[in-house]
Amino acid sequence: MITLEQIQIRIIEAVRQSGMTQTAIAKALNISQQTVSHYVKGDKLPALDTLANLCKLLDADANYILCQN
C-alpha cells in the first residue's frame, strides 16, 4: 500500500534535484514560498492541480511521485 509519507519523500526529492529555489518554484506556481517550504518539509501535500503543475515544472514523472513505478 502506498502511504502519504512515500509521496512526500518523492516530492522532496524532486524539489531538491531540480536545483530550483523555493522562491522560484512558488513564483512559477503562483503560490507562496511558505507553501513550497511545507511541501519540502513534508508538512503538507499539494492539491492535485498543484501537484500536476509541480511535476511539470520540475520535469518529474507524476507516476513516480505517486509511487506508481
Residue-wise pLDDT tens for the chain (69 aa)?
988 899 999 999 999 999 999 999 999 999 999 999 998 888 899 999 999 999 999 999 999 999 997
pLDDT of res. 69: 78
**What per-residue confidence (pLDDT) applies to 33?**
96
pLDDT reported for residue 42: 83
- Residue written as cell 506508481? 68
